[in-house]
Structure 1
Amino acid sequence: MPLYGEGEHCSRGGPGTGSTVGRCGDGLYCWPGEEDNYCGRMKSDCHSAQDRYDERERNGELGALEERPRCDGKGKYYKFECVPAQTCFCQADDGRRLFGEVLNLGVVTENTMHCGCSRFHDLMNSVIGSGVPAPVVGPRCTADGNYFPIRCINNICYCVDKITGIISKDYPTVHIDLERQSIAQLPCYEKDLDLFEEFDKEHPATFSSPCLMKQAEMVAEVLDSEEDEFNLDFFGGFPECLPDWTFGRIAVNSAGHKVCVDERGRQIENYHADRKTDPAAYNNMDCKCALTRKLMGDLPEKPVCCRNGNFRRIQCRRGMCRCVDSDGRQTEKETSDVTELSCYDNDTDWRTC
């Protein structure tokens, strides 16, 4: 079926309109005109964001590290967004940030970061997550939002495509039984991606994680209480596992402080928050900046974080300062005078937070 370009004639279907032999191309919609239908740009939140960007560019209001929003063929937000010289992270159709972040490597990231698993988890939670009493366990993801290359169903494990999550075409008949083997024996096993190697060494092996096992334990206790005709209520709720099946990127240490941790639970630098001394920093902690710094490794010009691991609202680079949002994205034109920035607060020291 041929694709029509912007401004070309198109058919909206219906009685007496004849057979449709083509459709409008990606990002276009068949709009009714005064005399005929034509292919025009879709109306969507992502396209509106692009329009606002373009207008600011024409007015000379863009910052050096701002990037034009990317939309897919349906006018929705692209599967991931990148911050120049920093990282790329998965995003939902509506532009919300999702689990999954990698170093921004340009074309390499474009070819390897697909975010299919992360987006599946988001869809699963939005459709059925709020309608069930216990957490719903989705497929295991890797740190970049792709599918973990192995999927297990009733102790039988298969190799799956990291982009689609379906059984791999390279190993369509290969599988192992966890009662007798471990996932490390599958040809698609990648040790660097396995955050829970200790489960592979058990006999029999299990395809799980400490977070999922804690969830399952609490669910079992609730079900047992119902059978015994009393209600067991975990007032803190069930532990929330990330799509990679870990507890999360914020942990609480023995002193009761929140700390930023990586995917293996190791503390990142000294980022922390104390509920007693700084309740606001404790409650608003997201560790996004700390995680970005960890991914950047030894690269220069890392972002500056607040003590709790969040992005500092004002970032400076090569003598110019800029405002950023909670994801580290520049929001307005940079300047050499920080007092001219909209995010500058004269009542606080912008250098510390």
Structure 2
Amino acid sequence: MFEPVSVSLGLIVFFRLVSGDSIISPPSCDGFYGCISSIRQSDCTNGEILISGGSLNGCCPGCRGGQRHNKVCNVNVASRRCAPGLKCDKKCLYDRTTCLHTIHMQLEEELAGWYPRCNTDGTYASKQCRGDRLSGRCFCYSEDGRRLFGWDWYKYAAKMTCACSRRRAKLESEGRTGVTLHCTQNGNYEELQCDSGVCWCADQHSGDPLVGTTVVHASLWQLLPCYNSTLHGDSYLRQCESAAFAQQTIQKKFALRGTIGVTFNAVQCDYDGSFGRFKIENGIVYCTWRDGKKIGSFQVRSSLLSSVNCNCARDSLIYQEAGIPFTLSCGGNGNYEYSQDQNGELFCVDDDGFVVSTDVQPGESCDHYIYKYVED
């Protein structure tokens, strides 16, 4: 969609493109006054992809075509170049470094039921919603398509930006440790924030200090107008964060005395300060709830940790809290079983428990129905 920014120069109306959840302002082009026509992906012809810089010499969003998936290509010949979202290796192949490749997967009907929302710059939209608006859910995603902390029911997600979850994930990917930004359940910023030795009252959508407030030293956090003694208590860090901080402190003290190789089963915390979705004890991974307690008997060897997400184990409690029957089957590791069977009806679900195919034959694998994030 588009939203007006200003009106000037007679009849020229300037717009900012709103793609998914990101706003892309018109690029700075010499002698260029602004984008005056609206366009959406649905306006593009078959095979064309809406991208930022796709028209007016890169100054405006526009539709751009090219060779389709699996077609012969040549990067040096304009008419043989691949469409956005594809890369040329004799043939046009999916470019998994950009979200735009999923649009081609949809066109080829290789994604059943759901495919990610993309921004026109090729990044993944921060909020990805599944199901209907009554019982569906929305989740936070990184720019490169990984699910992050943060979710809400679809019907409550209108103001969900995932800005806090994305900021924390970005800082951590850059090597920052000990990030203490607090996110709400839906990935927005909590009002009271402390990080890098300072504290402030934050806007829930941007994380910026609220107008009329100031940033203070961390020792003065209780003097901020957004501090609530009942809600925040005497410590900004929550139980899980305090345990993780204690581990880090002990390791640093050992290191200062020349003792290296001291390891712990690292405490995993979510971005709201609660305990993460699993913990490791004696070489076994257990699914855990927000309070750190184990969920059921879900467990797996720690050597298989990279395949564990505990989404099914946690959702069984989330649905219970919401008073919604939970009828799907979980694997022994707490993940959703891709292949589901209810009263003889076979169907496939993905990592988030959403149905991706109901046309399943006995013994058929669900793997080819599932969209998975691939890290190159």
Aligning the two structures, in what range does the TM-score lie when normalised by the shorter sequence?
0.5 to 0.7
Instruction: Give the structure with the larger strand fraction.
Output: 2
Distance 1:39 1:167 in 2: 35
Q: Secondary structure at the match of 2:340?
A: strand
Structure 1 counterpart of 2:170, from 115, 118, 123: 123
Deviations for 1:11-67, whole angstroms, at most 9, x for unmatched residues? Answer: 9988xxx61112486743445899xx99324824322202221331xxxx775xx22
Aligned partner of residue 99 in structure 2, secondary structure: helix
Distance, in Å, in 2 between the alignment partners of 1:312 and 1:227 is: 46
Query: TM-score if structure 1 supplies the norm length?
Result: 0.67
Q: What is the aligned partner in structure 2 of residue 305 from structure 1?
A: 330
Q: 1:263 aligns with which of 278, 290, 297?
A: 290
What is the correspondence of 1:1-353 to structure 2 with a 5 Å cutoff?
2=14, 19-23=31-35, 27-31=50-54, 39-41=62-64, 43-44=84-85, 45-56=98-109, 63=112, 66-84=113-131, 85-105=135-155, 108-109=156-157, 111-129=158-176, 135-152=177-194, 157-169=199-211, 172=213, 181=222, 186-187=225-226, 200=233, 205-228=234-257, 230-236=258-264, 239-251=267-279, 258-268=285-295, 270-273=296-299, 275=301, 284-297=307-320, 298-300=323-325, 302-316=327-341, 320-331=345-356, 333-335=357-359, 337-343=361-367
Give the Cα separation in 2 of the matches to 1:244 and 1:187.
17
Deviations along 1:129-176, one digit per CA (max 9) or x if unpaired, are: 4xxxxx33241122222212211369875321121111223x636989
Report if aligned partners of 1:260, 1:267 keep a CA contact under 8 Å in 2. yes
Instruction: Please give the alpha-carbon distance, in whole angstroms, between the structure 1 residues aligned to 2:297 and 2:137.
Output: 19
The amino acid that maps onto 1:214 is A
Structure 1 residues 157 and 90: CA distance shift in structure 2, 3 A: same
| Correspondence for 2:46 | none
CA distance in 1, matches of 2:28, 2:167: 33
**Which sections of structure 2, spanning at least 5 residues, go unmatched?**
1-12, 18-25, 41-49, 65-82, 86-97, 369-376
CA distance in 2, matches of 1:176, 1:227: 27
Deviation at 1:311?
Answer: 0.2
Paired with 1:103 and 1:293, the residues of 2 have a C-alpha distance of: 15
Give the number of the structure with larger relative contact order, counting CA–CA contacts within 8 Å between residues 6 or more apart: 1
Report the CA distance shift for 1:296/1:240 in structure 2 as closer, same or farther (over 3 A). Answer: closer
- Matched residues in 1 for 2:15 and 2:220: separation? 52
SS in 1 for 2:236: coil
C-alpha separation in 1, matches of 2:229 and 2:316: 25
Shift of residue 219 of structure 1?
Answer: 3.7
Name the SS of the counterpart of 1:339 in structure 2: coil
The whole-number CA distance in structure 1 between the counterparts of 2:171 and 2:201 is 22
Identity fraction in percent = 23
Deviation at residue 257 of structure 1 after TM alignment:
5.8
Instruction: Go from structure 1 to structure 2 and tell me whether the alpha carbon gap of 1:312 and 1:12 turns closer, same or farther (over 3 Å shift).
Output: closer
Deviates more, 1:155-164 or 1:45-54: 155-164
- TM-score, normalisation: structure 2: 0.64
Instruction: Report the Cα distance in structure 2 between the residues aligned to 1:96 and 1:174, rounded to whole angstroms.
Output: 32
Asked if structure 1 preserves the Cα contact closer than 8 Å seen for 2:198 and 2:215, the reply is no
Distance 1:163 1:206 in 2: 24
CA distance in 1, matches of 2:214, 2:53: 45
* Counterpart contact for 1:319–1:336, Cα < 8 Å: no
Give the Cα–Cα distance (whole angstroms) in 2 for the partners of residues 216 and 263 of structure 1. Answer: 18
Given that residues 288 and 327 in structure 1 are in contact (C-alpha distance below 8 angstroms), is that contact kept between their aligned partners in structure 2? yes
What is the CA–CA distance in structure 2 between the aligned matches of 1:72 and 1:148, rounded to whole Å? 26
CA RMSD of aligned residues (A): 4.2
Aligned equivalents of 1:232 and 1:280: distance in 2?
23
**Equivalent residues of 2:267, 2:279 under 8 A apart:** no
